[in-house]
Structure 1
């Protein structure tokens, strides 16, 4: 079985943090989303993995997956939908069964049941009960079999969302190749499953019970960050002095943490510096970041960011790379806000 991760998009709902790199390269509890995707496929027993990229995303994704073993990068020339992305990888798939992963998803559960559910059917779809199915592609399932998919219905027939992972046999690519573009002008992979059903084929549904996020918006990033932080075990490889800690706290090699209160779960990345601050719960501090004299909770601070004596606590904050958050000067409040930024004062 081949593995295929779709990661060509940048993620407009995550602007501005996705303005300079694809959302799949963003860190969740210190690990890039794309690296978590690769790990999920390998844990499911799939080791020959392709990643569909764009010209603007490939370099960042290569950097984010360093150390993840052999990967094949496949270029999608235009953003013409998930179905087109799969068709771009047709030569790589070599007429084999495929485990397909939409690259901005994050799962607690193993993907093995999806991969192992393929024999005897045309395709398998992962589904998850959600409280707001109208925001997703909704799967109507009967006795473990998919009956139909409806994209963002006003009046959902079920509360099962299609959650971004599929397995499919080679013949599904023939259905995909015959699809016309959707109203958005894109070829969507789930439409191929509708075509399979219309032709009398079978699609099995596998329901996930654990945590799932599609990391599409800042709130999703923070909830995923909190979940994966909660799974950490305390570990100190950096240097700490005069700190008070509770709960799981990880201080990576090269980090310096002094005179601070750490309420886990907290992750402090390599070569970060934290002094005189209160962090947590649910805070990650990226590599080489500096946090001085700050109170931060439920937040994601990326690499090389500087949080220096802000006048207010930070909560539910997403701070991008090289960003600076500090106290007002004598001249008063200063804001330098880029396109699509969000500030609540």
Structure 2
């Protein structure tokens, strides 16, 4: 079986963070989202993995996956939907069964049962019970089989949301190729499941019971970061000097922590420097960042960022790369705020 990760999307709900790089490169629990997708497929036993990118995202995705083994990159020329992205990989798939993974989704459960459920079926869809099914594609399931799939219904027939992972037999690509464009002008892969049912085919629904998120908004990104931080095991490979440490804390090689209180789970990236600060719980600090005189909790601070003695504590903050957060100057607050930023004072 081949693995195919779709990672050509822009991630508009994560602007402005995603304005300069694909959201799949954002770290959660210290690991880029795209790498967690690759790891999930490999842990399921799939080694031959393709990643569908856009022209603007390919270089960044190649960069963050460097050193992770052989990956095949396939470019989608235009943003014409998940079905079109899947068809772009037709040569790579070589007529083999495929595990299709929407690259911004993250799971606590193994993907192996999705592969196993394909035996005797045309396709498999992963589903998860959610409190707000009207925000998702909703699966109506009877006896473990998909009966219909309805996109964001006003009155959902079930609480089972399609959760971004599918398996399918090679002939399903013909169903995808025959799909008409949606009202958005895109070819949507889930519509192929409806086509399979219309021709009398068999689609199994596999319910996930563990963690699932598409990390599509800042709130979701922070919740996902917290989940993977909680899964860490303690490890200190950098220096921790004159500091109080409780809970699960990871200090990567080259990082230096001085005169701090760390309350896990906390992840401090390679060559970061943290001094005179209270950090945690549920905080990740990216590589080469400098944090001093700060109080930070429930936050994601990315690489190459400086947080220097801010006047107030940071909580539920998402801070991108190369950012600067510091105290007010003599003339009051100084802000350089780009398009679609969020500032709460």
TM-score between the two structures when normalised by the length of structure 2: 0.99
Q: Quick one: distance in 2 between partners of 1:174 and 1:231?
A: 40
2:149 corresponds to: 149
Q: CA deviation at 1:10?
A: 1.6
Q: CA deviation at 1:334?
A: 0.8
Equivalent residues in 2 for 1:50-65, closer than 5 Å: 50-65=50-65
Q: Quick one: distance in 2 between partners of 1:9 and 1:321?
A: 20
Q: Report SS of the residue matched to 1:125.
A: strand
Q: Quick one: distance in 2 between partners of 1:198 and 1:262?
A: 57
5+ residue gaps, structure 1: none
Q: Report SS of the residue matched to 2:78.
A: coil
Moved over 3 A (4+): none
Q: Quick one: distance in 2 between partners of 1:9 and 1:286?
A: 24
Equivalent residues in 2 for 1:195-274, closer than 5 Å: 195-274=195-274
1:318 corresponds to: 318
1:26 corresponds to: 26
Equivalent residues in 2 for 1:38-117, closer than 5 Å: 38-117=38-117
Q: CA deviation at 1:329?
A: 0.6
Q: Report SS of the residue matched to 1:303.
A: coil
Q: CA deviation at 1:64?
A: 1.1
Q: Quick one: distance in 1 between partners of 2:265 and 2:301?
A: 14
Q: Quick one: distance in 1 between partners of 2:146 and 2:32?
A: 32
- C-alpha RMSD of the superposition: 0.5
Q: Report SS of the residue matched to 2:63.
A: helix
> Does 2:147 correspond to 1:134?
no
1:181 corresponds to: 181
Q: CA deviation at 1:119?
A: 1.1
Q: Quick one: distance in 2 between partners of 1:209 and 1:68?
A: 28
Q: CA deviation at 1:233?
A: 1.1
Q: Report SS of the residue matched to 2:224.
A: helix
- CA deviations 1:257-314 (Å, max 9, x no partner) are 0000000000000000000000000000000001100000000000001110000000
- CA deviations 1:44-99 (Å, max 9, x no partner) are 11110000000000000001111211000000000000000000000000011000
2:286 corresponds to: 286
Q: Quick one: distance in 2 between partners of 1:2 and 1:16?
A: 34
Q: Report SS of the residue matched to 1:257.
A: strand
Q: CA deviation at 1:222?
A: 0.3
2:328 corresponds to: 328
